[in-house]
Homo-oligomer: A and B are copies of this chain.
């Protein structure tokens, strides 16, 4: 800086080729998934609050639409033209907000942002019922993040437009789980092919009772229990599940094992999902250092690493340039999954896929 010499990266155009993101994975996913966009009509005019709301076939069609968008993101007909999204991040998060707002804009819509919790009606003591009434008047859909897990449930009592839960306390974060699963299937499309019997073993470094992303992901994974050998929860804590949480997942067919040490289990894992943040009330509990991953951790050569980002020290940058790194793909794919979901929720699937519009 402030040198007489120009930085090399400023001497010519951005070397996009060396940084290009390939399309072979979404294309491969597209090939194994049947074309049944009609399944998505069931999402029209619905709130999306919990991963419990999804069925296996609906998920696969969402991923199919997401892959179509990833391959051709410049849509011919903007399905959300004239539609307004309200993004209400009472718990601030630039990354998640930008992902949703980018998704909505790429679909052609406009956005009203609430980013400063201190100045909103909620801070002034306005009830969620009144805020929901306001949102119903001023927007066509709402994305909400709040530290209080009850807020989204209070709003749906009166909301007249669909709301999407972008994180409610330590409860759920369903679209993050959608992005996680979309990445998994792009990596190994055979996992959602009917003609294949591939199975994987998935490690999750985190706490299912305290991490909303883990909670939602486990619910979605349970829909594909027959393609998963086992989910190994890796955590030093012995207090891993809410009452009934493990039982529910197992009743849906998912095999679950808990381990307290990472090193011993790593050689077994095809997929390692790691998360930096555990919600305890309003504060964060970071995973302890010995739960961290680096290029030297002893991952299997073909294992992939997922992380919902933002990361802390638990995910070392030495992994960034290895083939284990699927977390950047995961962040990138989140936008396409959200585009597919939002289009479905506001009844605009017929503008991007071959189905009849609602009458």
Contact across chains for B309 and A130 when beta carbons are under 8 A apart: yes
Proximity string of chain A (8-25) to chain B, C-beta cutoff 8 Å, 1 when within and 0 when not:
011011101001110000
| A92 within 8 A of partner (CB) | yes
Which residues of B are found within 8 Å of A16, using beta-carbon distances?
45, 160
Number of identical monomers bound together in the oligomeric complex = 3
Q: Using A12-B46, A156-B10 as known contacts, say yes or no to A92 and B116 having CB atoms under 8 A apart.
A: yes
Interface hit among A102-110, A181-189, A197-205: A102-110
Interface hit among A28-36, A55-63, A118-126: A118-126
Q: Using A14-B46, A149-B1 as known contacts, say yes or no to A130 and B84 having CB atoms under 8 A apart.
A: no
Least Cβ–Cβ distance between A1 and chain B, in angstroms: 5
Q: How far is the CA of A16 from the CA of B45 in the complex (A)?
A: 9
Which residues of B are found within 8 Å of A114, using beta-carbon distances?
94, 98
Which A218-247 residues sit within 8 Å CB-CB of chain B? 242, 244-245
Pick the 8 closest A-B CB pairs, nearest first: A92-B119, A102-B138, A105-B110, A13-B45, A126-B310, A94-B120, A9-B156, A137-B332
Given contacts A7-B49, A10-B52, A20-B160, 20 further A-B contacts (CB under 8 A): A1-B153, A2-B149, A2-B215, A2-B242, A6-B53, A10-B53, A13-B44, A13-B45, A13-B46, A14-B47, A19-B158, A21-B160, A84-B105, A86-B98, A92-B118, A102-B137, A102-B139, A127-B317, A130-B309, A137-B335
Chain A positions within 8 Å of B, measured between CB atoms, are: 1-2, 4, 6-7, 9-10, 12-14, 16, 19-21, 44-47, 49-50, 52-53, 74, 78, 82, 84, 86, 92-95, 98-99, 101-102, 105-106, 110, 112-116, 118-121, 124-127, 129-130, 133-134, 136-139, 149-150, 153, 156-162, 168, 171, 215, 242, 244-245, 248, 309-312, 317, 320, 328, 331-332, 335
